[in-house]
Structure 1
Amino acid sequence: MVITDHNFAGEDFERAAAEQLGADFQVYDVATEADAEAAVRDADIALVNFAPMTAKVLEAMSPGAVVIRYGIGYDNVDLDAATRLGIRVCNIPDYGADTVADHTVTCVLTLLRKIQHFDRAIRRGEWPSAPELAPIRSMAETTVGLLGTGRIGQAVARRLAPFGFEVIAYDPYAKPDDLADSPITLVELDELFRRSHVLSLHAPATPETTGIINARNLAAMPAGALLVNTSRGALVDQDALLDALDSGHLAGAALDVFQPEPLPVDHPLRSQPNTVLTPHAAFYSEKSIRDLQRLAAEEAARAGRGEPLRCPIN
């Protein structure tokens, strides 16, 4: 049992699982394909954060091995190769939905109330009146659109509803009955862009969603709209986003994820005044990290005992 890479304070849950299984246990900090291949060679269980789990890396693992992705997304795992090799892959989709939703709603409210602009003006020695930063839209007159209605999207909607927002969403896999107790109204994709004063992204990076926030779709949004992305950087064409911000068509964007990461130090998004940027931190709280490691360790124990996995992907 190996951990290819992580950024946690320790590995108590994982070590305990390995001890229960009587398994050898190694912790690495790999970033390259070559180092990942060496780390997982002959491993039966690999717990993976951002290490590149390519076909070459997966081929080095033991037959019937299991890869456990720390988190929801699994973009760094070659799923087709894993399936071909008979390697099971699973994720931890439910460890931090509430924490990401909290971060998302914080971004929505910050952008809408223009908190960042007031803060920066005061720090410059200014004392702006509220009308100087107009328009500032009331929450009751604001429609928030969600791209995706999974755990996080629904948690965001529940947090927004008490403020008086109208919440609409596009999700080709959702059915109205699934959202019967939710404040969400399902709409088609074109309507989502056309009506969203604030658009919040909650979709995985797939061939269908990669680059979905492009020049055409941004242009379809209302003038002065806002974008929030706590999902995957690949969903956004960052050049198109910069153009929309520079032209003023978009009034602002709050981004927690980028393509690539880390965002290059000279990237123009860093100096764009109408952005709020966080370093892929939406997932983090003390509780969410404890839950992530505990759930991953429990999945590793199931894998080692030959039991069905809780959250298989392939």
Structure 2
Amino acid sequence: MVGFKPTDVPPTAAVKFVGAGTAACIADLITFPLDTAKVRLQIQGENKVAVEARTAQYRGVFGTMATMVKNEGPRSLYNGLVAGLQRQMSFASVRIGLYDSVKHFYTKGSEHAGIGSRLLAGCTTGAMAVAVAQPTDVVKVRFQAQARMEGGRRYQGTLDAYKTIAREEGVRGLWKGTSPNITRNALVNCAELVTYDLIKDALLKYNLMTDNLPCHFTSAFGAGFCTTVIASPVDVVKTRYMNSAPGQYGSAVKCALAMLRKEGPLAFYKGFTPSFLRLGSWNVVMFVTYEQLKRAMMAARGSREAPF
């Protein structure tokens, strides 16, 4: 075939699905300490007795990480990593890998998707991903917050965490916080994917950049900042509610109201700096890796299918 290039082959849904999950795992491996610091900062202050009993207070993202390393060892920064990787393989594969397919479904196959179709696709895949991956998210958050528990570690391992939660709180405990998580991830997905989509399209449309690494980096960084600003309040409530003891809060809404009453509106932006550092760097690593994986997999597929 004259002029055939392997990269001309459009990526399939399977390639996007696998590529998104793999890229998200790579991003998590690199940025997980920032996520753990974010969780510690978000839960700080929810229990005044526990906070006053502690000698170490967390101050800032790097101060939090330094305190954790000093008091708990370097491995504490990766508490919950196994559940985190399980989450990304099931979560990112759906919300990112299926985004284009769902977007084309809403536009009935048209290549020109409006902002409404993009937002609807982001909400849809975000909600679908939560329904699949919620138990892994609950376990990840519990592990990351585990140091605040007195009398030993809360869970001894990832499998033990799943079993213990199901035994003590019922199967519904594994889906604790689903409502705020759906809200959060609908916002995150829309802000993240739609912003990335729009920034990348604008850069290419006005010939400011070509479809290459600098373009992917710029689009991902912008998406990370927008996502952090929009999603932080819901993310804090989600983290608090998921980590709470049975009966501590009646619902996610009551959790939010308790935060507002006891700590004020700024409580909803606790951990903003690590959230941005984490989401910004996570987006850059994930989207750049995702774009390269898609190209590599489609190049390999195109090479196999190319006529000799």
Normalised to the residue count of structure 2, the TM-score between the two structures is 0.32
- Point out the structure with the larger strand share: 1
Normalised to the residue count of structure 1, the TM-score between the two structures is 0.31
